[in-house]
Each structure stands twice: as C-alpha cells, then as structure tokens.
Amino acid sequence: VVALCNCASKFKKASRKYPWSFILFNDVVISGNHAYAGGTIGLISLDISDPFSPEEVSVGRDNYGEMTYGSIEDVVVAGEYAYITSYGQLAIVSIKDPERIWVVTSTDEVSASGVAAHGKYAYVSDWEQGLLVFDISDPKHGEKPEKIGEYRIFFADAEDVMISNEQAYVSCEGILGGV
C-alpha cells in the first residue's frame, strides 16, 4: 500500500505481520477507512485512516480458523460483504467488523477469475463456463450461493466482469464484450 501525495518522501509501505517479499497482491478495494487486499495469502484488511501509515488489522479466516482461500484473483465490496474469487471459488466474506473478517460462505463449482456484485446478484467470470450469475441475497445464513444463470462464451476464456447500467461486460482474452 502506497500513499499518493505531492511529497514523494512521505511514501510508506503498510506494516505487515508477514514478510513482504513472499506476498503478491492481485487486487485491492477501498471501503471507508479500510482497504481489502487479495493476494497469495488470502484477504487482508488494512486500516488506512492515516494514509501515510496504513496498518494491517485482520487476515480473512474461514469457519475453521484457516486463512481465506489461497491466491485471490478479484475482490469487490458491497455493503457488509467482500466478494472474492480465488482458484475455483467464489467466497463471501463478512467485513462488518474489519478487525475480524471471515468467510461466511462459498461455492467451489466455478473456475472463477473476476467478480462483480450488484443488488442481490454476484456476477462471476469463469474461465470455463463464461458468465455465471449467483443469488447472494441472504449470505448471513451460510447457504452456498445458488447459481441461477449462465451465459456461455465460446472460444475464449472469461477473465473479468463489470456491471454498468444494468449490463454485464465481460473481458475475454483481451476482448471486451457486452452481455
């Protein structure tokens, strides 16, 4: 994490409980005074209220106390939840308490790369299946997100998805296509 300002001498890295040299971050999203970074050790919550001295406050855990699923590809925050994709999974992480982030539920029936959340749906770009739509209207009870739709993309791997004006846009091997 680097603070951007007019004064280059004030740039700092966030303090870490793990050696920086072993961690790669694939995505970061900001919500309020916290940044959620997904990388090779899972999802990390950082307090960024002081942009010149961000502090790690939590590492995502599942119900068994283990770190969140491996290397995270994409992170999106909507309300009290972060939606993350990692190798073969879509996970919903409670971020209500940024000092105790934990996996509420997940599904492992995907080859997920990207995720977007809009209303009561999560849209997942899947390398093998294309665009998948999951019902995420009630994650509190630990039920696996239910797949309610899909849009097959042939001859290309879906890499990322964005939602704008009620449209899902999926990038595939460098090609941007609207669905």
Q: What angle do CA 11, 15, 16 make, to 5 degrees?
A: 135
- β-partners of residue 4 are none
Beta-sheet pairing, 72-78 with 81-86: antiparallel
Residues making up the chain, counted from first to last:
179
| Rounded Cα gap, residues 157 and 166, in angstroms | 22
- Whether the per-residue pLDDT at 40 is higher than 90: the answer is no
pLDDT at 83 over 90: yes
Average pLDDT over residues 137-150: 85
pLDDT score of 62: 59
Whole-prediction pTM = 0.80
- What is the reported pLDDT for 176? 52
The arithmetic mean of pLDDT across residues 105-115, rounded, is 83
E strands, the chain, where? 25-31, 34-39, 42-47, 55-59, 72-78, 81-86, 89-94, 102-107, 112-118, 121-126, 130-135, 146-151, 158-164, 167-172, 175-178
Residue 130 and residue 150 in contact, taking contact as beta carbons nearer than 8 Å: yes
Lowest mean pLDDT segment, chosen from 33-37, 53-57, 59-63:
59-63
96's tokens: 């209500």
